[in-house]
A and B are shown apart, each in its own frame.
Chain A
């Protein structure tokens, strides 16, 4: 699938280096984590995947695109893409540190003080400290500006009370970046602040929520007198909305091409199943398989097209187009997966009576069109910001 990425010899060597490192490490000590984790399966091999994060960090594969002076590798966008592709191709486990590396890290690089950078970035780069994202609340989902969790300043600390929900991996994370209201007199996106909060403390309770897959990776997080030092405020007090939205623009699209390698693997598995069950001879199912295959190509070309204009950097709004594109494609794939298994899709398939890969795919892809901004919200963004339609 690499046709279209124009690589220099040096980039090609980088690819080989990444490939060799992944092969070495996944064949040996970490063979047991291959293919583990990911949406619907985040509960798998957690302890081992934390070790894997450290291994990645120790070898310098975390923060590839970060500046050297902050401990990164200053790798070009292209090399980051190459690494994501190789990572996916090797079947390496789903990253536990993605929110650390791709959300809070870049936020600190842009908005953090020198002290905050010195304190928090090394732990992320070493793969030691895991972060989760505390934005959504029971009454603030799509309409995030409705955040009510409050943070009140008391001496050298902020004291938090309120509730976050749908917080992925909060049950295993060490820290949470929280959007909280520091100014009770302000409404909506004014008066919000971006706070870094340690999770291991008495004022915080974390309760896993069972998902439609039967497993759980997101949680409720209750703050009741939880504390964090005022030094852990990122950006100015009351400027949290801007800081949180800034995260949106970071390195979007870099992961897309790697993600597509996982998609291709899923599609290939579905095609293999369709051959085994004879579903491929059903004209209607065959047509859906071909359309899925074509759709995957179109996503790839779209990502390459965006990358080719990456000199200016893909805008957040273009990210909405890509989100809609892949989320819908993937959700359709989930339906196709069960359809090609036929009636066998009615019952769990594994020896331990677990759901099959196809059933899991069908279930967990329902989340794709919800998290990271629902389809409806993405459509609003595309209509208003990309097409310029009236509000």
Chain B
């Protein structure tokens, strides 16, 4: 039925009624939540201060977020004293924080609490209660020096003792890993089974080293586990399923964050080009620049829709298994492209540290690399789609 568009009136060269860009319709509660979070961040979030302090994020903002928005309790089930919201609700916060590049352990905490809530074990519930009531932050410690983010190759070991479990191994690229209160860690039992564990960051059996990250708004740590005391949080049925869920939610959250950041970065470009005058006119009136922005708008619309679809598909068996992988690739690529254009289209000021363009550029590149590179994830998507060579 391709002929449909072929016969639409071709030219729209004369002004007609302008239509407001319509926001995708969201449930009312979610739209209100989005507004509340946006207000909160507009009032309290100061990205520059947060990214330059020793912690790499603003503890005061986190504390406020716990009190006013319930950031740690959001996805914690009501039975554990939380707000019992869905992952799609959590994604609203991820998007709003992402839009502004707010340095925060929020994304990992949202994902970790969603995974813990799905575990349904006493151990997980007990931790969730503590996370909700104490306002704890959680970091996901997944990647390893050899395995990267490939779950099948993870090699950290969990040993069983009468009192519980201890962990041994090395993790890297752990977002906000040096400051988080808890760590969610996939590791293998001596039988080689992949399981999910939680350790306290204060445990004497682990050492955390903060690395200087390319992306100043998301600090990364290496963590060395030498018999760190841990609890196993997943139930007897399939630890690999919980690890797959963890990976899927991380990818989806990164997609949501990237799409939101891409949208705000594009708005920044458009605003600048509308204001900045050269040759006696607004730069944005040059068609060469309009067309570049239009192409970005197509990318961003596709990224938003893909992130939306991936979020809506969480927990829905009908979705293709690799929707999160596809979403992360599409959205992170879109963010990088928009951010790269942002630097270019801002001219000299876009190359300064004081302007935010480079923060989007760095977040874009980091999001392309986190949880699997574009190449690795494309390979996974291709294999699942039967496109293997």
Among the listed B1, B19, B304, which residue makes an inter-chain contact with A259, where contact means beta carbons less than 8 Å apart?
A: B1
Q: Which chain B positions have C-beta within 8 A of A314?
A: 22
B270 touching A389 by the CB < 8 A rule?
Answer: yes
Output the nearest chain A residue to B385 by Cβ-Cβ distance. Answer: A293
Q: Which of A189, A245, A299, A387 has most B Cβ within 10 Å?
A: A387
Q: Number of residue pairs across A and B with beta carbons under 8 Å?
A: 233
User: Which of chain A's residues 1-58 have a Cβ closer than 8 Å to chain B?
Assistant: 3-4, 38-39
Among the listed B3, B273, B274, which residue makes an inter-chain contact with A95, where contact means beta carbons less than 8 Å apart?
A: B3
A379 touching B291 by the CB < 8 A rule?
Answer: yes
Among the listed A3, A144, A262, which residue makes an inter-chain contact with B2, where contact means beta carbons less than 8 Å apart?
A: A262
Cβ distance A76 to chain B, nearest Cβ, rounded Å? 16
A304 touching B305 by the CB < 8 A rule?
Answer: yes
Cβ distance B291 to chain A, nearest Cβ, rounded Å? 4
B25 at the interface (CB under 8 A from A): yes
Cβ distance B317 to chain A, nearest Cβ, rounded Å? 10
Among the listed B282, B291, B309, B382, which residue makes an inter-chain contact with A305, where contact means beta carbons less than 8 Å apart?
A: B309
User: Which of chain A's residues 226-276 have a Cβ closer than 8 Å to chain B?
Assistant: 241-242, 244-245, 247-248, 252, 255-256, 258-259, 262, 271
Q: How large is the interface on A (under 10, 10 to 19, 20 to 34, 35 or more residues)?
A: 35 or more
Q: What is the CA–CA distance of A95 and B1 in the complex, to the nearest angstrom? A: 7
Q: Which chain A positions have C-beta within 8 A of B19?
A: 315-317, 385
Q: Which chain B positions have C-beta within 8 A of A388?
A: 270, 274
Give per-residue flags for A145-159: 1 if the beta carbon is below 8 A from chain B beta carbons, else 0.
100000000000000
A381 touching B12 by the CB < 8 A rule?
Answer: yes
Which of B93-101, B213-221, B294-302 lies at the interface with chain A? B294-302
A378 at the interface (CB under 8 A from B): yes
B348 at the interface (CB under 8 A from A): no
Among the listed B13, B21, B266, which residue makes an inter-chain contact with A315, where contact means beta carbons less than 8 Å apart?
A: B21
B291 touching A383 by the CB < 8 A rule?
Answer: yes
Among the listed A133, A188, A280, A287, which residue makes an inter-chain contact with B7, where contact means beta carbons less than 8 Å apart?
A: A133
A213 at the interface (CB under 8 A from B): no
A387 touching B305 by the CB < 8 A rule?
Answer: no
**B interface list, Cβ under 8 A from A:** 1-14, 16, 18-25, 266, 270, 273-274, 281-282, 284-285, 287, 289-291, 293-295, 297-298, 301-302, 304-306, 308-309, 312-313, 316, 318-320, 326, 329-330, 378, 381-382, 385, 387, 389
**A interface list, Cβ under 8 A from B:** 3-4, 38-39, 84, 87-88, 94-95, 98-99, 102-103, 133, 135-136, 140-145, 168, 188-189, 241-242, 244-245, 247-248, 252, 255-256, 258-259, 262, 271, 280-281, 286-287, 289-291, 293-294, 297-299, 301-302, 304-306, 308-309, 311-312, 314-318, 321, 323-327, 330, 367-368, 371-374, 376-391
